[in-house]
Amino acid sequence: MPTPGLPRLVLTPGEPAGVGPELVAELAASDIEADLIAVADPSVLADAARSRGVTLDLRADDGQRRTRRLPGELRYVAIPVASRVVPGVLDPANASYVLDTLARAADGCLAGEFDALVTGPVHKGVINDAGIAFSGHTEFFAARAATDVVMMLATPSLRVALVTTHLPLAAVPAAITALALERCIRILDGDLRRHFALPQPRILVLGLNPHAGEGGHIGREEIDTIIPVLDKLRGEGMTLVGPLPADTAFVPEQLQRGDAVLAMYHDQGLPVLKAQGFGSAVNITLGLPFIRTSVDHGTALDLAGRGTADAASLVTAARLARSLAVTRIRA
């Protein structure tokens, strides 16, 4: 079979004052077998590489698929920042720049220009401070691709997916509707089969309330919404365990029963995953028509420009994106 060449991974460094640009430089210095194309201001990448002590060979992307990339080679699609970047100092003037990089990268994936997207961390607060409503990459790409998605974070031994993502805790119960839960489980089940070679995924579904509602005495969402959806989908052949009390669902004996945990909200599932694997976990958006992986950490403004931030999560995210892209290209 003729080799199609290297997979083309598009990278968005995220918040320019955060650690994202220097981590992209570090990734580019690695020997990952993929072409790397950053959508960014090339001067931000060059400054970040210098601060990291990394030598980059930066060139504009010509759209061609290459068969070889040497460590240090990084292509770029240029988008200029609006305001000079000072590491560690947020500037709302650059919020549109960040979103423009996400939009360009996603559109390139949708058009087949790139094989997968790997994102660095954005600062949600500064984008909102600039007057632009934004709750996260996951929601942004879902809107861009006009599809439903599911956020899942993974370490080598734990996968945690979320029914709801970035919304106030007070808004969570109303967001867990039968429709939303059913859509979420269908996407999770389907993408675990498609991308993770699990022919019959076993999903551990958490309850919303303490003790999964204690038979209705500590909340009724399990009885009124979650159990009926699980029963319906089990009837279609899915393997769904639960709803489980969240406090004991992550003990090793329980985790052995499943391939992924489905948490009802962000801080029900992610603290456990990050306590186990912070810095080397990957965030994957399921349900998109393109592959998107991301770091498990934020902008780490306290570390920006120092050259000490750990690139492990970005490197792991890029390796997973590459592997998923190669599988897709060969299929």
Ligand X SMILES: NC(=O)c1ccc[n+]([C@@H]2O[C@H](COP(=O)([O-])OP(=O)(O)OC[C@H]3O[C@@H](n4cnc5c(N)ncnc54)[C@H](O)[C@@H]3O)[C@@H](O)[C@H]2O)c1
Closer by beta carbon to ligand 4TP, 104 or else 137: 137
225 binds, among ligand X, ligand 4TP, none (CB under 5 to 8 A by kind): none
Residue 303 near ligand X by CB under 6 A: yes
Residue 142 near ligand X by CB under 6 A: no
User: Tokens 């498609």 correspond to what residue?
Assistant: 194
Residue 309 near ligand X by CB under 6 A: yes
Other CB atoms within a 10 A radius of the CB of residue 324 amount to 20
Q: Is 292 known as a binding-site position?
A: yes
Pairing of strands 291-294, 282-286: antiparallel
Q: How far is the CB of 294 from ligand 4TP (least distance, A)?
A: 5
Q: Is 137 known as a binding-site position?
A: yes
Residue 99 near ligand X by CB under 6 A: no
125 binds, among ligand X, ligand 4TP, none (CB under 5 to 8 A by kind): ligand X
Whether the Cβ atoms of residue 315 and residue 11 lie closer than 8 Å to each other: no
Helix, strand or coil, per DSSP, at residue 313 = helix
Q: Is 274 known as a binding-site position?
A: yes
Q: How far is the CB of 15 from ligand X (least distance, A)?
A: 7
DSSP string for 222-277: IIIIIHHHHHHHHHTT-EEEEEEPHHHHTSHHHHTT-SEEEESSHHHHHHHHHHHH
293 binds, among ligand 4TP, ligand X, none (CB under 5 to 8 A by kind): none
Pairing of strands 57-60, 8-12: unpaired
Residue 270 near ligand 4TP by CB under 6 A: yes
Q: How far is the CB of 111 from ligand 4TP (least distance, A)?
A: 22
Pairing of strands 260-263, 202-206: parallel
Helix, strand or coil, per DSSP, at residue 174 = helix
Of positions 29, 48, 122, 172, contacts ligand X by CB under 6 A: 122
Distance between CA atoms of residues 186 and 260, nearest Å: 13
Residue 283 near ligand 4TP by CB under 6 A: yes
The residues binding ligand 4TP (CB under 6 A) are 136-138, 151, 266, 270, 283, 294, 296
